[in-house]
């Protein structure tokens, strides 16, 4: 159960990071509310997962999922450039996350 919560929390990290970029300094209400809800839920999920997973593993997985999804979404939406190297490197992050799960 902790791994499922951790993965969902990583997804929520990507949500709050993307929403933060759209708040325009917290001057836009909707992205600010999305940011606040997502960051609280993401942190609560990370804290729950850390009750049974090592801190280093949980944090690395959480950050890896969040970073890869945030960058992937930015490329998909056209906010960041797409290249084969960038995609390869993001897949490497996901591969490392899978490796941490398999070696746990």
52 three-class SS: coil
Domain residue ranges in the chain: 2-103
DSSP letter at 104 equals: -
For 21, residues 6+ apart whose C-beta sits below 8 A from its C-beta are: none
Least Cα distance to 22 among 12, 10, 35 occurs for 35
Least Cα distance to 1 among 60, 52, 75 occurs for 52
Give dist(CA 88, CA 46) in Å, integer: 27
Q: What is the pLDDT along the chain (104 residues), one digit of tens a residue?
A: 999 999 999 999 999 999 999 999 999 999 999 999 999 999 999 999 999 999 999 999 999 999 999 999 999 999 999 999 999 999 999 999 999 999 97
């Amino acid at each position: 159960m902790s791994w499922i919560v951790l993965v969902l929390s990583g997804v929520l990290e990507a949500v709050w990071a993307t929403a933060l970029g759209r708040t325009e300094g917290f001057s836009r209400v909707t992205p600010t509310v999305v940011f606040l809800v997502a960051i609280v839920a993401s942190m609560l999920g990370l804290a729950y997962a850390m009750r049974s997973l090592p801190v280093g593993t949980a944090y690395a997985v959480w950050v890896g999922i969040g970073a890869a999804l945030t960058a992937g979404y930015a490329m998909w939406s056209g906010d960041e450039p797409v290249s084969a190297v960038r995609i390869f490197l993001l897949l490497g992050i996901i591969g490392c996350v899978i490796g941490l799960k398999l070696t746990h």
